[in-house]
Amino acid sequence: MEKDKGFVKKCIFAIPITFILKNENLGYNVIMEIYISNPGFVCSCGKSPEEFMKNLTSGNQNGISKARCDLVCENSDREFFVGKIQDEMLNSVEDKFATRFLQVLDTALDGVRSAVEKAVAKYGAERVAVCVGQCDNGSYLSFTNHKEFFTKGEFPADYDLKAQGADYPATYISKKFGLNGVSLSFATACSSSASAIIKGKELIKAGIADAVVAGGGDVDSDTVLLGFDSLEAVSHEKANPFSKNRSGITLGEGASFFVLSKDDIDGTGIVLAGTGESSDANHMTAPLADGSGAKQAMESALKDAGLEPSEIDYVNLHGTGTHLNDSMEGKGVDLVFGDYKVPCSTIKSMTGHTLGGAASLELAACFYAIKMQKLPVQAWDKVQDEEIPVLNIVSDSDCCKDKEIKICMSNSFAFGGCNASLIIKKA
């Protein structure tokens, strides 16, 4: 662990414990707007913002296809529906550890290069930080290289465990852009990139950074697919969130990043208005069934933004398609919004559940909803589960065309009860 001017320069692993950051000249509670740049992203649901939103607003699930798991069990016939990124969409990476995960991150990062360069020009490289979230940073490398160890008695000469280090994604991003600010990695399961974005906001408000490259990503390895399947959480059909007929998640891969800054350096006119976190600590995988953990995160975000529930124009639901998540989230939304039936939907039935990248990718969908004035629809069979409060699920992209979309909330509820809620709005 290195230190620079009294602050931690690099943290190998960051967990979502809320802490107060202070500077002698700038208190944490100073009122300031935190602007967000145009996002950079990559996923199976589109190559450009226009294609991405075209698919999301039409409920197009063509990015979801079957993939075979044969890395762990050779010649396996196990297949799962996955939101897999086509290889030709990804950058080649000039790095000692040119993993698929770094290719995914690098491709998404290209979309914020301009904003990063503006931030460096305005603030200096030492004032631009990095906060990145992920879940699986290369578990497939363990299988391929350990297989060689067990058969030949030694690891391949080019195998280095650093490639799987929790800190390496943040290190890579700092190196890619020549940044010298604080560099942090986050692993809070499916809310990892939300944790990264929230910490980025705190770094700016504390005066430790003036801008932050924040977001996250993940790839779908066989270990992830088989691990979720062992929990009986993977749907063997395309995910059908909030339906009475839902049977689990469809996994996906992707990444998304923003540049957060105290000035509108990218000219978007959109701010990170509020953030909220809570921790159930209820169970290693199951959330609090009554939705109270989700409720606490959403209410904290609303309080932070100084908003009433009725002022939210759209909620991007976590919406995994598992029995427990959808039930508790539906209850949580009902507890917060009550009689105000806020338009809401989950995009995971089109993108797949991108795990550590889900929160930042879904915040990108909210960003484009505001910019393009269209809401993502939800791909599902529309069979209401009577055990879930009735939600105003968007099934037609024109459903709210008579109302301006100015403020969006995005929810991420992870294993271990790591709950996060983000609100963005027009400045």
Tell me the pLDDT of the chain (427 aa) as tens digits.
Answer: 444 444 334 444 443 333 334 344 444 445 689 999 999 999 999 999 999 999 999 999 999 988 776 555 554 567 889 999 999 999 998 887 888 899 999 999 999 999 999 999 999 999 999 999 998 777 777 777 878 888 888 888 887 778 777 888 999 999 999 999 999 999 888 899 999 999 999 999 999 999 999 999 998 877 777 778 877 778 889 999 999 999 988 999 999 999 999 999 999 999 999 999 998 877 766 777 899 999 999 999 999 999 999 999 999 999 999 898 999 999 999 999 999 999 999 999 999 999 999 999 999 999 999 999 999 999 999 999 999 999 999 987 666 677 899 999 999 998 777 899 999 999 8
Q: Are 301 and 423 in contact (CB under 8 A)?
A: yes
Determine whether 391 is exposed, middle or buried from the number of CB atoms within 10 Å of its CB (0-12, 13-18, 19+).
buried
What pLDDT does 418 receive?
87
Spell out the domain ranges in the chain.
3-426
Q: Are 364 and 372 in contact (CB under 8 A)?
A: no
What pLDDT does 94 receive?
83
Q: Is 420 helix (H, G, I), strand (E, B) or coil?
A: strand
Q: Which two tokens stand for residue 358?
A: 């889900």
What pLDDT does 31 receive?
63
Out of 43, 318, 344, 366, the active site residue is: 318
What does the alpha-carbon distance between residue 351 and residue 61 come to, in Å, rounded to a whole number? 8
Residues 6 or more apart whose Cβ sits within 8 Å of residue 301: 274, 275, 276, 409, 421, 422, 423
Out of 43, 190, 366, 408, the active site residue is: 190
CB-CB neighbours of 392 under 10 Å: 17
CB-CB neighbours of 381 under 10 Å: 11
What pLDDT does 2 receive?
41
The stretches of 206-285 forming alpha helices (DSSP H) are: 222-230
The stretches of 249-405 forming alpha helices (DSSP H) are: 292-305, 323-337, 348-351, 358-372
Question: Residue written as tokens 């609090």?
Answer: 288
Q: Which fold would CATH assign to domain 3-426?
A: Peroxisomal Thiolase; Chain A, domain 1 (3.40.47)
Out of 69, 353, 366, 418, the active site residue is: 353
CA 46 to each of CA 204, 264, 282, 325, 373: distance values in angstroms, whole numbers, following the listed order: 32, 27, 36, 26, 18
Buried b / exposed e along 177-193 (16+ C-beta atoms within 10 A)? bebbbbbbbbbbbbbbb
323 is catalytic: no
